[in-house]
Amino acid sequence: MADEKNEPSGFKVVDRRAFTVEGSAREEKPPEARKAEPPAEKAPAPQAAEPPKPELFDEPSDFETLVSYLSTTTMFQLGLIPGPGGERIPPDMNNAHRTIDLLEVLQEKTRGNLTPDESRLLDDVLYELRMTFVELQKRQARKG
């Protein structure tokens, strides 16, 4: 076994660390010495299998989903929906007003192109959000 350790294996170890064992900086190799050494062969990167994409939605998005999303966003901005940890979120009246305005733009730009159910949904959502917004504004005015 001792004899096997002395046999050349064809494997060469080159210490390329910037510091010696004592902690002092190694001397820089001259550029021609660097070129003489063959570059280390890189093993091909393993092909990672693409992770499966989770199904986020069971149904395709439609007009009702858009209106629902914007209405839920507005309710969150009005402080009517708790935060992720169940904490109370203070109202953000400016952004709630902006989101209601976006729903009004949607109503204006889709007028005449909606089914009666879609039109009724948008009308009802806008009515409820506007009334809630005004009520919260009145409460804030009474407090402050």
Residue 4 lies in a domain: no
- In the chain, what percentage of residues exceed pLDDT 90? 51
Beta carbons within 10 angstroms of residue 67's beta carbon: 19
Token pair listed for 92: 């953000």
Question: What is the overall mean pLDDT for the chain?
Answer: 81
The verdict on pTM exceeding 0.85 is: no
6-19 tens-digit pLDDT = 666 666 666 677 76
**What pLDDT band is residue 49 in, cutting at 50, 70 and 90?**
low
Residue 84 lies in a domain: yes
Contacts of 82 (CB under 8 A, 6+ apart): 88, 89
Residue 16 lies in a domain: no
Residue 49 lies in a domain: no
Residue 104 lies in a domain: yes
Q: How many domains does the chain have?
A: 1
**What pLDDT band is residue 61 in, cutting at 50, 70 and 90?**
confident
Measured between alpha carbons, how far is residue 63 from residues 74, 122, 130 in Å?
A: 17, 9, 20
Residue 37 lies in a domain: no
Q: State the residue range of the domain holding 73.
A: 63-143
Give the mean model confidence (pLDDT) for residues 62-68.
95
